[in-house]
Amino acid sequence: MLTGHRTWIFDKKPVIISTGTVVGPFEGKGNLARDFDLIHGEIWLNQDSFEKAHQVMLEEACQKAMEKANLQKDQIQFFLGGDLINQITPTSFATRTLGSPYLGLFGACSTSMEGLALSAFLVNYNGAKYILTGASSHNAAVEKQFRYPTEYGGQKPPTAQWTVTGTGVALVSPMGKGPQVTSATIGRIVDMGLTDPFNMGGAMAPAAVDTIEAHLKERNVDPSYYDLIVTGDLGHIGREVSLDLFKKHGTPIKEENYQDCGLLIYREGQPVLAGASGAGCSASVVYGHILNRMKKGELNRVLVVATGALLSPLSFQQKESIPCIAHAVSIENGGEEQV
């Protein structure tokens, strides 16, 4: 049901019945290692290219999610997902293995929540019984495409962020046990004219603020309604900038209830500069860490705001600014199991 301009309230409360998260070695050394289903020891995953490794990671995550929910491949009705590589080939190729009907998405690093919002919408209106949705990224594959060859010696400024090698998928269903998707706010493009591809956080912060404020207003709730508002990959700079923007706009968001996936995933001292980024960042942290905490009852209401910078190497070279977007999805613990 549409509320306001761009918020959907899901009255049937679709359930995330299971998740699958797979990450690389660098993430395995981070803070959240215990929350991931599978941690690979090396970034090649025994494949002969980074792109194939990227694809395999997604296949494994889907497998994990289906295993946990006791489902077979042919029971999955739709797959909604995407990644950052040209024409989202890793996701498309992984879905070729999966064999289910497939809707490819691109929202850069906001793909995870774009997929979850759409899946919840489809499920809410009886469009499907089981939908798999997810997003993934592979550090080396993304670096290769967006920046320089991985072994090239280019100094990254302190504003740069580290692309996560990781993937997270969620199985959404109208019934079952698990955290429920209660509402979603679709973001609009916010472009503040920033052009520095090594400062994504600063570019994306206004988009996150725009979506969060719209969500709170249209859903008519106070920020304190949520135990946690978690952004996708704003990093240190984006988080700080967005907090100051909230202050400026008079939105009472408490610093301790406002976190960022890009800051949660890595340990202090890992050389990631301003934090993590990548489509797999919010996907793996939310579907791994955040949902685990919800299942344990540490968190009951969470608003996930995945942020994306919609640039390409081409647009950057043509001196275009960086358009940004953020999608918000609220995930809440339901009282009792739905049937």
Partner 1 sequence: MIFFWAFVIGGLICVIGQIMFDVFKLTPAHTLCTFVVLGALLDAFGLYEPFIDFAGAGATVPITSFGNSLVHGAMAEAEKHGLVGVVTGMFEVTSAGISAAIIFGMIGALLFKPKG
Partner 2 sequence: MSNKKKKKLTPVQQEYQAFQDQRETKRPVFKNCMKAFLTGGIICLIGQAIQTFYIYFFDFTDQTAGNPTVATLIFISMLFTGFGVYDRIAQFGGAGSAVPVTGFGNAVISAAIEHRTEGFVLGVGGNMFKLAGSVILFGVFSAFVIATIKTILITWGGL
- Taking CB under 8 A as the binding criterion, the range among 10-18, 89-97, 153-161, 286-294 that sits at the site for partner 1 is 153-161
Instruction: Give the C-alpha separation, 213 to 308, whole Å.
Output: 17
Both tokens of 31, joined, read 């803070």
Residue 137 touches which of partner 2, partner 1, none (CB < 5 to 8 A by kind)?
none
- Indicate the Cα dihedral angle 47, 53, 56, 58, nearest 10°: 180
* Interaction between residue 99 and partner 1 (CB under 8 A): no
Instruction: Give the C-alpha separation, 192 to 281, whole Å.
Output: 23
- Residue 313 CB, shortest distance to partner 1, in Å, is 12
Q: Which helix (H) or strand (E) is 308 found in, with range?
A: strand 301-309
Residue 44 touches which of partner 2, partner 1, none (CB < 5 to 8 A by kind)?
partner 1
Q: Out of 151, 256, 268, 336, which residue is the one contacting partner 1 (CB under 8 A)?
A: 151
Residue 43 touches which of partner 2, partner 1, none (CB < 5 to 8 A by kind)?
partner 1
Please, which of residues 18-47 interact with partner 2 by CB under 8 A? none
First to last CA, the chain: 21
Please, which of residues 163-202 interact with partner 2 by CB under 8 A? 191-195, 199, 202
Q: Out of 14, 30, 187, 206, which residue is the one contacting partner 2 (CB under 8 A)?
A: 206
Binding mask 120-159 for partner 2 (x = CB under 8 A): ------------------------x---xxxxxxxxxxxx
Question: Which is closer to partner 2, CB of 193 or CB of 250?
Answer: 193
With a CB cutoff of 8 Å and minimum separation 6, the contacts of 153 are none
Listed in order, strand segments (DSSP E) in 139-239 are 162-163, 166-173, 180-185, 228-231
Binding mask 277-316 for partner 2 (x = CB under 8 A): ----------------------------------------
* Interaction between residue 155 and partner 1 (CB under 8 A): yes
Q: What three-state secondary structure class fits 172?
A: strand
* Interaction between residue 154 and partner 1 (CB under 8 A): yes
Please, which of residues 233-252 interact with partner 2 by CB under 8 A? 236-237, 240-241, 244-245
CA distances for 203 relative to 137, 241, 274, angstroms: 20, 10, 13
Q: By C-alpha distance, which of 296, 17, 19 is closest to 180?
A: 17
Question: Which is closer to partner 1, CB of 44 or CB of 225?
Answer: 44
* Interaction between residue 196 and partner 1 (CB under 8 A): yes
What b/e sequence results for 230-266 when a residue is b if at least 16 CB atoms lie within 10 Å of its CB, and e otherwise? Answer: bbbbbbbbbbebbbebbeeeebebeeebbbbbbbbbb
Q: For residue 272, with 0-12 CB atoms within 10 Å meaning exposed, 13-18 middle and 19 or more buried, which class applies? A: buried
Question: Which is closer to partner 2, CB of 296 or CB of 319?
Answer: 319
* Interaction between residue 136 and partner 1 (CB under 8 A): no
Residue 173 touches which of partner 1, partner 2, none (CB < 5 to 8 A by kind)?
none
Half-sphere exposure of 44 (CA within 13 A, CB side): 5
Q: By C-alpha distance, which of 307, 242, 219, 191 is closest to 5?
A: 219
Contact positions vs partner 2 (CB under 8 A): 48-51, 144, 148-159, 191-195, 199, 202, 205-206, 236-237, 240-241, 244-245, 271, 274
Contact positions vs partner 1 (CB under 8 A): 43-44, 50, 139-140, 149-151, 154-155, 157, 196
